[in-house]
Amino acid sequence: MFKPTIMQPSPLTAAPTIAQIQQRHEAIVSYIHRTPVLTAQSINDISGAELYFKCENFQKIGAFKMRGGISAALTLSKEELAKGIATHSSGNHAQAIAMSAKLLGVPAYIVMPNNSPKVKVKAVEGYGAQVTFSESTQASRESTLEKIIAANGAHFIHPYDNYDVICGQATCAKELIEDVPTILDAIIAPIGGGGLMSGTCLSTTYFSPQTKIYGGEPKAVDDAFRSLQSGTLQQNKTTNTIADGLKTNLSDKTFSIIKDHLTEAFTVEEEEIVAAMRLIWERMKIIIEPSCAVPLAVILKHRKVFEGKRVGVILTGGNVDLEQLPFTKN
């Protein structure tokens, strides 16, 4: 059978076009899972909406970050790859870079803050990456990474302020749109650094232009909400949220895309996040992170916006510490 050769993708210098997302999806497809879209009658009944959950908790490394990591890695030349890929992260992006390097057979260098949970350090090391500890400050993380890169020439892959990462994350909404047997009235994703949200904005605009695009954010880290309100990039004042994947701030690249395409951003309280998380665990029997309960919390809180609508909900990941769950005893 004729099988077209997949060209090595070139690094992007601007927000990806529709063709670039399509080509990138072909390039990464053998490195990622096509995750299922699940429905849950009882949550439809509770919300009054028809929800389609895109389950990136079943993605490789347990989160959508795999898409962006491998997408960026594949743009590197053989010579660049041989020197390895690197990042600083205590979360899913660290695992995505480690796994991408493993699949490509190249070294990975991950800087992790010295207060990272042991379980996350073990996961990254389990993929064969070399972990270097830094202080937990942003400055220490960056300077530690710079030293490693200076020493071995590894290529830094930023978790979201990177058009190739955004292009990879865009494949998630693309698959959701392709796999849902109806035209969606809306798609909703959580907003952290904005890599997933900006990719979701682009794919929805390209592949389902009539679909509205919503973002959800914890009230405690509402930089995106305030940035959109004010029109200029705002910073989070705290990182005091259970949604550990959403503590980061938008970047220039992600804010630029999101402000042009997002229909609206909503914020939710911590207890609303936990309640939505629990609902998904109990009714769907799947494990999701607090971060990806934010969209359902938004849907339940802003019932009038979503009632009677067909809504795609991106469940971003399932990496939780089972010893630290928020379901307190009665």
What x-and-dash track marks residues 117-156 binding a copy of itself by CB under 8 A? ----------------------------------------
> How does DSSP assign 20-56, residue by residue?
HHHHHHHHHGGGS----EE--HHHHHHHSSEEEEEEG
> Smaller CB distance to a copy of itself: residue 57 or 204?
57
Tell me which DSSP letter residue 312 carries.
Answer: E
Residue 101 half-sphere exposure toward CB, CA atoms < 13 A: 30
- Does 30 bind a copy of itself (CB under 8 A)? Our answer is no
C-alpha torsion angle, residues 325, 96, 171, 282 (rounded to 10) = -20
Closer to a copy of itself by Cβ: residue 228 or 315: 315
Residues that bind a copy of itself (rule: CB under 8 A) add up to a total of: 20
- Residue 318 within binding range of a copy of itself, rule CB under 8 A: yes
Nearer to a copy of itself, 135 or 271 (CB): 271
CA dihedral for 94, 95, 100, 102, sign (positive or negative): positive
Instruction: Give yes or no for a contact between 70 and 28, defined as CB atoms under 8 angstroms apart.
Output: yes
Nearer to a copy of itself, 180 or 213 (CB): 180
Q: Nearer to a copy of itself by C-beta: 249 or 319?
A: 319
Q: How far is the CB of 36 from a copy of itself (least distance, A)?
A: 8
Which stretch in 207-215, 220-228, 300-308, 317-325 sits in contact with a copy of itself by CB under 8 A?
Answer: 317-325
Sign for the pseudo-dihedral over CA of 205, 206, 208, 210: positive
Tokens coding 176: 């959701």
CB atoms closer than 10 angstroms to residue 315: 30
For strand 186-190 and strand 310-315, is the pairing parallel, antiparallel, or unpaired? parallel
Residues 275-314 that bind a copy of itself (CB under 8 A): 278, 281-282, 285-288
In this complex, which beta carbon is closest to a copy of itself, that of residue 11 or of residue 36?
A: 36
How many Å apart are CA 285 and CA 280, to the nearest integer? 7
Residue 127 CB, nearest approach to a copy of itself (Å): 11
CA angle 159, 161, 162 (to 5 degrees): 85
Segment lying near a copy of itself (by CB under 8 A), choices 16-24, 179-187, 262-270, 322-330: 322-330
SS3 118: helix
Q: How far is the CB of 44 from a copy of itself (least distance, A)?
A: 14
Site residues (CB under 8 A) for a copy of itself? Answer: 36, 57-58, 62, 278, 281-282, 285-288, 318, 322-325, 327-330
